[in-house]
């Protein structure tokens, strides 16, 4: 398996885990609390959801193919890609209308800080945000602010700011993810 296939599979796994809260379910079952906290185990189904892919390179394209099997409406936002099969939507439309937004675009000067308060504040109430690009693609403080106010927003972060420089283990996002 090449790296882009492995990355795409991991991104898809992260999307399903974030929607279904598999990690929470495993923890609750292991602690013998699943009956006491069933409300935490209720997840969202990918079926019939709208998935916006920010970046439509190898990973984004594979994510679209995987998601089709779940009857998911797929759109992409990548200024360098044109495809008839999956329509292009604006980032504003993704954040206002889509159930899940997956950031899988390469980090460049153009994409550093691409997802900020402007977009994050537009997330649907129970939306799911996935980032497997680089932590710096999302303005971390803006994301933290949204997650503190809107606890129903689900996020799946494979990457954090400072990952490359090894300063990510102090990220306040780690504390937010400990909330269950």
Domain of 80 in residue numbering reads as 3-177
- The number of domains in the chain is 1
Q: Residues in the chain, how many?
A: 180
**DSSP β-bridge partners for residue 75:** 52
The residues, any chain, with a CB within 8 Å of residue 54's CB and separated by 6 or more, are: 60, 76, 77, 78, 91, 94, 101, 102, 103, 104, 105, 114, 115, 133
Please give the share of the chain, as a percent, with pLDDT higher than 90: 41
By three-state DSSP, how is residue 156 classified?
Answer: strand
The string of pLDDT tens digits covering residues 131-161 is: 998 888 899 999 989 888 888 888 888 777 7
The string of pLDDT tens digits covering residues 91-117 is: 999 999 999 999 999 888 888 888 999
What span, in angstroms and rounded, lies between the C-alpha atoms of 169 and 161? Answer: 9
Mean pLDDT score of the chain, rounded to an integer? Answer: 85
CATH code, 104? 3.40.50.720
- Give the pLDDT score at 57: 92
- Give the pLDDT score at 18: 87
CA dihedral 83, 101, 72, 42 (to 10 degrees): 170
Is the full-model pTM beyond 0.85? no
Mean pLDDT over 65-83 rounds to 93
């Amino acid at each position: 398996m090449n790296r882009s296939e492995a990355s795409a599979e991991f991104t898809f796994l992260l999307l399903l885990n974030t929607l279904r809260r598999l990690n929470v379910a495993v923890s609750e079952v292991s602690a013998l609390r699943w009956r006491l906290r069933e409300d935490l185990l209720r997840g969202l189904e990918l079926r019939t959801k709208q998935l916006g892919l920010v970046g439509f390179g190898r990973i984004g394209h594979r994510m679209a193919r995987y998601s089709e099997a779940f009857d998911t409406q797929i759109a992409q936002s990548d200024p360098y890609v044109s495809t008839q099969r999956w329509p292009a939507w604006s980032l504003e439309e993704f954040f206002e209308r889509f159930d899940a937004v997956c950031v899988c675009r390469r980090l460049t000067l153009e994409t550093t800080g691409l997802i900020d308060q402007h977009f994050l504040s537009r997330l649907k109430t129970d939306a799911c945000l996935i980032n497997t690009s680089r932590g710096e693609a999302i303005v971390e403080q803006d994301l933290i602010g949204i997650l503190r106010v809107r606890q129903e927003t689900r996020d799946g972060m494979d990457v954090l700011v400072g990952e490359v420089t090894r300063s990510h283990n102090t990220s306040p996002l780690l504390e937010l993810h400990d909330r269950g």
